[in-house]
């Protein structure tokens, strides 16, 4: 039964029931009588059609998943590789390694990252060279500077917990001053998280961890002082540890030599500059952002003890001019180093 809508919002008062006769009205068309039924029976109301959303739900879900996988397929594959393969511990983007309660603090960075930094000792014909390194896989892959192990007859690595391992030089790249070591019999180590040096800005706070003068696990802090500094260092080709007597690694900047003669075989790279204190033995160690990501491998520092001025010859130690190889350059070189290339 259908009622006619009244704009007033009222409906006619209910009339006394009158028998309805199919095919006509009782006694003609009386005021208030029910209208005659239609000439044919009204269609039975049909159940609403099943909602297409439900029918398409699984298909839509599968399609959505497929689209998402296609959009991030490369990143997903890389993420799986970093968790299960030789790239364990690395990351293409910056992550929070430091616990939230200690985020942005030097102590938080030191606590989170120190287990991933090692001391590297190389025995050469000239004596012993001490540097630092960064753990990149749990089974003992270590990134360090090439000049730390150049000309070495044997290499030993001491981890943050005091354990010592023999190490093999897997690959070297003297042009980038990088080397890759593999510890013998190591397992369960804590890999560092390699960040993104493209995101680094002048003034960013940083922490440096290494083994200056053999003091394992030394932590210093500062800021990024400059970007893209052209630093020239010896390649180490045909020479063994061309360090000066004070232990500083010689380098050139802006046409001037620091910490001794760089020799005739050299290479230049774009470096991050930092005022975090670096000293002999920090080479190969980590420059870290406040989230705990490695943004550079410390490689050179200016030591006034070997300056040409003479008036500064009595001074020694860091003066806040340190340089690090950007971590993006390191990540680009890892495949080559892992393949065993030694250049």
Is 283 an annotated catalytic residue?
Answer: yes
Chain position carrying tokens 């500094």: 229
**pLDDT tens string 179-218:** 999 999 999 999 999 999 999 999 999 999 999 988 999 9
pLDDT confidence of 27, banded at 50, 70, 90?
A: very low
Q: Are the beta carbons of 217 and 209 closer than 8 angstroms?
A: yes
CA distance 251 to 233: 5
pLDDT at residue 263 in the model? 72
Distance of CA 42 to the CA centre of its chain: 70
How many other C-beta atoms lie within 10 A of the C-beta of residue 291? 18
Compare 99 and 33 and report the one with higher pLDDT. 99
3-state class (DSSP) for residue 181: strand
Query: String of b and e for 117-134 (b: at least 16 CB within 10 Å)?
Result: bbbbbbebeeeebbbbbb
For residue 2, what are the contacts with CB-CB under 8 A and spacing of at least 6? Answer: none
pLDDT confidence of 237, banded at 50, 70, 90?
A: low
Select which of 91, 129, 132, 147 is catalytic: 147
pLDDT at residue 252 in the model? 77
What pTM was estimated for this model as a whole? 0.69
Q: Which CATH architecture has domain 111-181?
A: Beta Barrel (2.40)
Instruction: Tell me, yes or no, if the two domains 111-181 and 202-238+246-304+315-337 fold the same way.
Output: yes
Select which of 87, 177, 289, 328 is catalytic: 177
Is 21 an annotated catalytic residue?
Answer: no
State both tokens at 298: 């410390």
| DSSP sequence for 19-55 | --BTTB-TTS--TTPPPPPPSSPPPPPPPPPPPHHHH
CA distance 247 to 147: 12
- pLDDT reading at 19 higher than 70: no
Average pLDDT rounded to a whole number, residues 239-245: 45
DSSP 8-state symbol, 254: T
Please state the domain extents for the chain: 111-181, 202-238+246-304+315-337
Select which of 132, 221, 225, 283 is catalytic: 283
Q: Which CATH architecture has domain 202-238+246-304+315-337?
A: Beta Barrel (2.40)
- Whole-angstrom Cα Rg for the chain: 37
Mean pLDDT of the chain: 76
Say which range, 66-80, 88-102, 224-238, has the weakest mean pLDDT: 66-80
For residue 267, what are the contacts with CB-CB under 8 A and spacing of at least 6? Answer: 174, 175, 176, 177, 232, 233, 235
State both tokens at 193: 């998280």
Compare 260 and 219 and report the one with higher pLDDT. 219
3-state class (DSSP) for residue 301: strand
Is 177 an annotated catalytic residue?
Answer: yes
Q: Are the beta carbons of 213 and 240 closer than 8 angstroms?
A: no
CA distance 5 to 17: 21
Upper half-sphere CA count for residue 336 (Cβ side, 13 Å): 15
Compare 334 and 124 and report the one with higher pLDDT. 334
């Amino acid at each position: 039964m259908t009622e006619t809508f009244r704009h007033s919002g009222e409906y006619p008062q209910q009339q006394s029931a009158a028998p309805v006769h199919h095919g006509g009205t009782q006694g003609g068309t009386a005021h208030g009588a029910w209208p005659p039924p239609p000439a044919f029976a009204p269609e039975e109301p049909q159940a609403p059609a099943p909602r297409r959303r439900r029918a398409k739900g699984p298909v839509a879900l599968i399609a959505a998943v497929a689209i998402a996988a296609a959009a991030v397929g490369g990143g997903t594959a890389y993420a799986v590789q970093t968790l299960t393969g030789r790239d364990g511990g690395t990351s293409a983007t910056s992550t929070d390694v430091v616990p939230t309660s200690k985020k942005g603090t030097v102590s938080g960075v030191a606590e989170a990252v120190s287990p991933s930094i090692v001391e590297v000792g190389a025995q050469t014909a000239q004596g012993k060279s001490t540097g630092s390194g960064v753990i990149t896989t749990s089974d003992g892959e270590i990134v360090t500077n090439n000049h730390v192990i150049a000309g070495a007859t044997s290499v030993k690595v001491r981890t943050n917990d005091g354990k010592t391992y023999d190490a093999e030089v897997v690959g070297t790249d003297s042009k980038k001053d990088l080397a890759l070591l593999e510890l013998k019999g190591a397992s369960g180590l804590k890999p560092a998280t390699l960040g993104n040096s493209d995101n680094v800005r002048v003034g960013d706070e940083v922490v440096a961890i290494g083994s200056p003068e053999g003091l394992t696990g030394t932590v210093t802090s500062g800021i990024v002082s400059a970007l893209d500094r052209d630093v020239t260092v010896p390649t180490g080709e045909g020479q063994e540890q061309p360090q000066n007597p004070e232990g500083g690694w010689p380098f050139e900047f802006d046409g001037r030599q620091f910490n001794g003669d760089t020799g005739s075989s050299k290479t230049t790279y774009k470096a991050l500059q930092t005022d975090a204190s670096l000293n002999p033995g920090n080479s190969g160690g980590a420059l870290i952002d406040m989230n705990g990501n490695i943004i550079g491998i410390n490689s050179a520092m200016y030591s006034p003890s070997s300056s040409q001025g003479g008036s500064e010859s009595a001074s020694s130690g860091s003066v806040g001019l340190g340089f690090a190889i950007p971590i993006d350059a390191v990540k680009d070189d890892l495949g080559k180093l892992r393949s065993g290339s030694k250049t």
